[in-house]
A and B are shown apart, each in its own frame.
Chain A
Amino acid sequence: MASGGMLRARKSLRYKLTFASLIATVAALLTSGALFMFFLYSWGLDDMVSDLQIKADVVAANSRAALAFGDTSYAAETLQAFSLEPDISEAALILLDGTVLARYQPTGGSTDPVGAFTGLRPGLTMSADHVLLLEPVELDGEVLGNLFVHQDLDSLYSRLLSYLAVMMMAVLAALTVAWQLYRRLQARIEKPFLELVATVSEVSKDRNYALRVQSRTDDELGTLIDGFNEMLRQIESRDQRLRNHQEFLERQVERRTKELSDANEQLTGEIDVRRRAEAEMRKLSSAVVQAADAVMITDTEGRIEYVNPAFERMTGYPAVEAIGQTPRLLKSGKHKDEFFSQLWRSMEAGQIFHDVIVNRRKDGTEYYEEVTIAPVRDADGEVTHFISTGRDITDRMRTQEQLRHLAHHDAVTGLPNRVLLMDRIEQSLHRARRHDLAFAVLFIDLDGFKTINDSLGHHAGDQLLRGVAQRLSAAVRNEDTVARLGGDEFAVVLDSLRSSASVTAVADKLLDEISQPMLVEGKSLKVTGSIGIAVYPNDGEAVHELLRRADSAMYLAKRSGKNNFRTYSSGGDSEISGRLELEQFLRRAVDEETFLLYYQPQIRVDTGAVVGVEALLRIKHPTLGLLDPARFLPILEETGLIMPVGSWALREACRQVRRWCDQGLPPLRMAVNLSGLQFEQADLVSRVRRSIDEAGIEPSILHLEITERVIVDTLGSAVRVLEDLAALGVGIAVDDFGVGYSSLNYLKRLPIQKLKIDKSFIRDVINDADDRAITEAIIALSHSLRLTVVAEGVETEQQLAFLENLKCDEVQGHLFSPALAPMAFMAWYADNCPLQHGHAASQDAMRKEP
């Protein structure tokens, strides 16, 4: 339809153009024709008139004579000259008086006798179909008469008609030629136009904007085509951009749709997960609600966020009261602050706390709760809450407590018994060592008690003892301990003393209390007491030692007259001065580095090979010779000298490894003892590394031995320090193992390779069933923990055979060799390990050389 319209339009336009051109042509031709005809006419008329004038002039001239002399015939004769002119229809010569001298009428007789000339003015008179001329004939200025000529225009008109005919033919021919020319020329002009139109129609039909009009013309149509092409190009490019944009949008929509559906799916999945999680949560929360154990959830600040019904039952606090509070709500005061700070430390370290806590209910009663507190972490591993589950184990604890109380307390007075006293002294000893404090052990014996007991019966005796116990307990501070050792013997531990003067004051007070009369079974009884005092550290550094010395001081007091007290140091013992002297000697030795290291070999039990040595500290006294380590080591520990000495020993041992290597010995494992003080040094790890680096030895050569006691005392930091040391590559052994401090769980968490059984067990391993059992247990434990186990202090073949039987890994002791100076060790090694390399040394050879 569009093309049909186009076609029509094209036709119409084409014909319009042609028509217009032809109209213009015709108009031009007609105008020029009309002009031409007009000029032809006017020219023809002019010609005719001038011709007529000329003829008339001639005739007039010729007719002068005729007129002058009135000669009619001659006049007629002259008029006959017009006979050659067919257009002259009438001519006449008229005299002045109006008479016609002669008349010429070629077409026959005139119908007008008067003549057309009457009243005619001289000159030309024009009319449509004729021209009249009245010309005066003059002779020498005198008018003789007039010549009248009538000329028809017929010939002019007929000539014009023939011209017109010719012209019309010419116009027709011109039109024909023009028509053909237009057709040809128009085709040329039209061609690009038609192409443009065709392209337009194609573009409008197909929306194909890649089309272009190919024709090139240098006219306005060319501009139009260029414009159209440019327009197409722009449309095309815009189209392309639109398409690109649309594709982009479609992709975007597709992507969004996918994202949405993904999100939807994910959401559905999440909803599912959440539904399950909710069910799980409901299950869990109802489990928590209905749990028999008390559950308490706090935030990281310790504020209670949730408690369950079991908690309410156990504590007596309803949830509304507990929430928002801290667990201090339940505090009984039975634990020291240290306990709680430890609790917080372990929780902050992310560890699970498990212990028994004494708490207080709302009604004020105390109860034992076995608590497990665990951190609750979010998805990022961040601790957000703590959950505490606990159960009331008061009944169980009470039973245990009773049992323990029975085990640790005196049945008569309720005071701690000897066992507990020893423990308390041990604790005081620890505290005193750590805090550099003094404490005193007072040994009290009642004077004359035996007499009362014998005379009044043991019932009264017991009553008296209970009374004394009460008074003693009342006389000392809470942190002090009053114990009954048995019979009429009591002991008091005065903890954390600041001066020895306070000890004597307390002793006086105690004597005073004891000597107060006491009402027993209606009788007023009076006893006195004798007190012996041993003060740590002056009078001893071990539990038994202090007790023994307090005991001996008590005997001194008794001997010196009862109701009296004596201190051990005041008893005149010379040990104190000897100790001071020794301390000074040691200080000098530290300054002068005159300490020595002796090396005791460690031997594999199964192969008999020397696998390492233990470096042991020695010092030579100028007069006393080698000093007993048991004597000088405690002093080094107490004075802190052990730190520089220990550092020196570490360096020296490493250097010795290097020296032996240089002297041809194979690299032997070097075990070096670390004291507790050293272990607490902040720069221990870097010191160890420096020693290794300085000597240029393999870190794995070095083994550090740390006593079980030290590890237990430093508990939290021990793990970290040991891990740092292990990271250096050095081996770690637990020394003096089995004394009874460690738990097996603890061992598992430490990066240790080796356990050394304390020599006290080995010494009696053959005769003492307990020691044997302990030794067996330690070896089994080591194997189960994949630890190497070393037995120290092996002195007999029986001991070795026993250990070998238990598959103890390594041994050391006088059976093989005492600790030796470096050179002596070289010699020993050469004798016992002639092949030097590996396993060659026979066990027999080694056993023969104790």
Chain B
Amino acid sequence: MKAGFVLNIARFARWPLAGLEGREIPLCLLGEGSLDTVTELLEGHLVRGRTVAVHRIESVEQVTSCAIVFIGAAMDEQLPQICAAAESGSTLTMSDSDGFADRCVMINIVREGLRLTFEVNQRSALRARIQLSSELLKLGRLTDWHDG
């Protein structure tokens, strides 16, 4: 479920750089997370015409080379660095940990009852010069953003 969410959200995003463009769109998994078991669900799907390639990264430095980075709950401490790296490298940041969106993660998937929804930190996305579609903005719960 989350995997589909991830893909769909990614599909509503637009990256600024052309340099990152290639046949593949790298989706990096940083930290232990709920996606680890469903990487195969992600692998091979298309996002914006490119094939999703799931990469496991360990360091924050590697974030810039990813188009999307899913941040596990365990990376709580290193979150600001990760966000900063993501913002500089125009990497869409996603997570499914409460409060992460308020901190700096651009998209944070949350459970609301029986259904999944997501939070959108548009400020982070703007910093990363990633354009999120209005639909995302409309469907997602926008966080109050501030410097953070």
User: Using a CB–CB distance below 8 Å, which chain A residues touch chain B?
Assistant: 62, 64-66, 68-71, 74, 139-142, 144
Q: Does B145 contact A (CB under 8 A)?
A: no
Knowing A65-B139, A71-B139, A74-B138 touch, does A140 contact B133 (C-beta < 8 A)? Answer: no
A65-B135, A68-B11, A68-B12 are known contacts; what are 13 more A-B pairs with Cβ within 8 Å?
A65-B136, A65-B138, A68-B8, A69-B116, A69-B117, A69-B139, A71-B139, A74-B139, A139-B8, A140-B47, A141-B46, A142-B7, A142-B45
Q: Does B115 contact A (CB under 8 A)?
A: yes
B142 to chain A, nearest CB (A): 15
Instruction: Identify which of residues 1-48 in chain B touch chain A, using a CB-to-CB cut-off of 8 Å.
Output: 4-5, 7-8, 11-12, 45-48
A217 to chain B, nearest CB (A): 79
Q: Which residues of A contact B48 (CB under 8 A)?
A: 140
Q: Does B80 contact A (CB under 8 A)?
A: no
A564 to chain B, nearest CB (A): 213
Q: Of all chain B residues, which has the CB nearest A63?
A: B135
Q: Does B99 contact A (CB under 8 A)?
A: no
Interface-centre pick from A64, A69, A141, A142 (highest chain B CB count, 10 A): A69
Q: Which residues of B contact A139 (CB under 8 A)?
A: 8, 11
Knowing A66-B139, A69-B5 touch, does A142 contact B46 (C-beta < 8 A)? Answer: yes
Instruction: Identify which of residues 101-148 in chain B touch chain A, using a CB-to-CB cut-off of 8 Å.
Output: 115-118, 133, 135-136, 138-139
**Contact, CB under 8 Å: B115 / A70:** yes
Q: Which residues of B contact A65 (CB under 8 A)?
A: 12, 133, 135-136, 138-139
A711 CA / B26 CA spacing, docked (Å): 192
Knowing A65-B12, A68-B11, A70-B115 touch, does A140 contact B46 (C-beta < 8 A)? Answer: yes
Q: Of all chain A residues, which has the CB nearest B47?
A: A140
Q: Which residues of A contact B133 (CB under 8 A)?
A: 65
B32 to chain A, nearest CB (A): 25
Q: Can you show 9 pairs from A to B with CB atoms below 8 A apart?
A: A65-B12, A65-B135, A65-B138, A69-B5, A69-B116, A69-B117, A139-B8, A140-B11, A140-B46
Q: Which residues of A contact B4 (CB under 8 A)?
A: 68
Q: Which residues of A contact B115 (CB under 8 A)?
A: 70
Q: Which residues of B contact A70 (CB under 8 A)?
A: 115-116
A143 CA / B47 CA spacing, docked (Å): 13
A405 to chain B, nearest CB (A): 198
B54 to chain A, nearest CB (A): 16
B121 to chain A, nearest CB (A): 17
Q: Which residues of A contact B116 (CB under 8 A)?
A: 69-70
A141 CA / B52 CA spacing, docked (Å): 13
Q: Of all chain B residues, which has the CB nearest A141?
A: B46
Interface-centre pick from A68, A139, A141 (highest chain B CB count, 10 A): A68
B33-75 contact mask (Cβ, 8 Å, vs A): 1 or 0: 0000000000001111100000000000000000000000000
Q: Of all chain B residues, which has the CB nearest A68?
A: B8
Q: Which residues of B contact A62 (CB under 8 A)?
A: 135
A69 CA / B115 CA spacing, docked (Å): 9
A71 CA / B135 CA spacing, docked (Å): 11
Q: Of all chain A residues, which has the CB nearest B109?
A: A69
Q: Which residues of A contact B5 (CB under 8 A)?
A: 69
A333 CA / B17 CA spacing, docked (Å): 192
A74 CA / B117 CA spacing, docked (Å): 13
Q: Of all chain B residues, which has the CB nearest A61?
A: B135
Interface-centre pick from B8, B46, B138 (highest chain A CB count, 10 A): B8
A142 CA / B49 CA spacing, docked (Å): 11
A69 CA / B12 CA spacing, docked (Å): 11
A70 CA / B5 CA spacing, docked (Å): 10
**Contact, CB under 8 Å: A64 / B135:** yes
A142 CA / B6 CA spacing, docked (Å): 14
Q: Which residues of B contact A66 (CB under 8 A)?
A: 139
A139 CA / B135 CA spacing, docked (Å): 13
B11 to chain A, nearest CB (A): 5
A142 CA / B8 CA spacing, docked (Å): 10
A64 to chain B, nearest CB (A): 7
A221 to chain B, nearest CB (A): 79
Q: Which residues of B contact A74 (CB under 8 A)?
A: 138-139
B94 to chain A, nearest CB (A): 14
> Which 5 pairs across A and B sit closest by C-beta, in order of nearness?
A65-B135, A68-B8, A140-B46, A140-B11, A141-B46
B3 to chain A, nearest CB (A): 12
A66 CA / B138 CA spacing, docked (Å): 10
Q: Of all chain A residues, which has the CB nearest B134?
A: A65
A491 CA / B39 CA spacing, docked (Å): 220
A139 CA / B46 CA spacing, docked (Å): 9
Q: Which residues of B contact A144 (CB under 8 A)?
A: 8
Q: Of all chain A residues, which has the CB nearest B118?
A: A69
A65 CA / B10 CA spacing, docked (Å): 12
A74 CA / B139 CA spacing, docked (Å): 8
Q: Which residues of B contact A140 (CB under 8 A)?
A: 7, 11, 45-49
Q: Of all chain A residues, which has the CB nearest B135?
A: A65
A705 to chain B, nearest CB (A): 182
A191 CA / B127 CA spacing, docked (Å): 95
B136 to chain A, nearest CB (A): 7
Q: Of all chain B residues, which has the CB nearest A78?
A: B135
A500 CA / B118 CA spacing, docked (Å): 216
A69 CA / B117 CA spacing, docked (Å): 7
Q: Which residues of B contact A142 (CB under 8 A)?
A: 7, 45-46
Q: Which residues of B contact A71 (CB under 8 A)?
A: 139
Q: Which residues of B contact A141 (CB under 8 A)?
A: 46
A68 CA / B47 CA spacing, docked (Å): 13
A62 CA / B138 CA spacing, docked (Å): 12
A138 to chain B, nearest CB (A): 10
Interface-centre pick from A64, A65, A142, A144 (highest chain B CB count, 10 A): A65
A71 CA / B140 CA spacing, docked (Å): 10
A142 CA / B46 CA spacing, docked (Å): 8
A62 CA / B135 CA spacing, docked (Å): 8
A62 CA / B136 CA spacing, docked (Å): 11
Q: Of all chain B residues, which has the CB nearest A139?
A: B11
**Contact, CB under 8 Å: A69 / B46:** no
B42 to chain A, nearest CB (A): 12
A70 CA / B133 CA spacing, docked (Å): 17
Interface-centre pick from B46, B133, B135 (highest chain A CB count, 10 A): B135
Q: Which residues of B contact A68 (CB under 8 A)?
A: 4, 8, 11-12
B24 to chain A, nearest CB (A): 14
Q: Which residues of A contact B12 (CB under 8 A)?
A: 65, 68
Q: Which residues of A contact B138 (CB under 8 A)?
A: 65, 74
Q: Which residues of A contact B136 (CB under 8 A)?
A: 65
A144 CA / B7 CA spacing, docked (Å): 12
Q: Of all chain B residues, which has the CB nearest A72?
A: B115
B112 to chain A, nearest CB (A): 11
A2 to chain B, nearest CB (A): 93
A212 CA / B37 CA spacing, docked (Å): 114
Q: Of all chain B residues, which has the CB nearest A65?
A: B135
B68 to chain A, nearest CB (A): 14
Interface-centre pick from A62, A66, A74, A142 (highest chain B CB count, 10 A): A142
A104 to chain B, nearest CB (A): 19
A716 CA / B102 CA spacing, docked (Å): 198
Q: Of all chain A residues, which has the CB nearest B52?
A: A140
Q: Of all chain B residues, which has the CB nearest A71?
A: B139
Q: Of all chain A residues, which has the CB nearest B10?
A: A140
B66 to chain A, nearest CB (A): 18
Q: Which residues of A contact B49 (CB under 8 A)?
A: 140
A65 CA / B116 CA spacing, docked (Å): 13
Q: Which residues of A contact B135 (CB under 8 A)?
A: 62, 64-65
A328 CA / B133 CA spacing, docked (Å): 180
A66 CA / B115 CA spacing, docked (Å): 13
Q: Which residues of A contact B47 (CB under 8 A)?
A: 140
Q: Which residues of A contact B46 (CB under 8 A)?
A: 140-142
A100 to chain B, nearest CB (A): 15
A444 CA / B136 CA spacing, docked (Å): 219
Q: Of all chain A residues, which has the CB nearest B12?
A: A65
Q: Of all chain A residues, which has the CB nearest B5?
A: A69
B51 to chain A, nearest CB (A): 10
A74 to chain B, nearest CB (A): 6
A79 to chain B, nearest CB (A): 15
A147 to chain B, nearest CB (A): 15
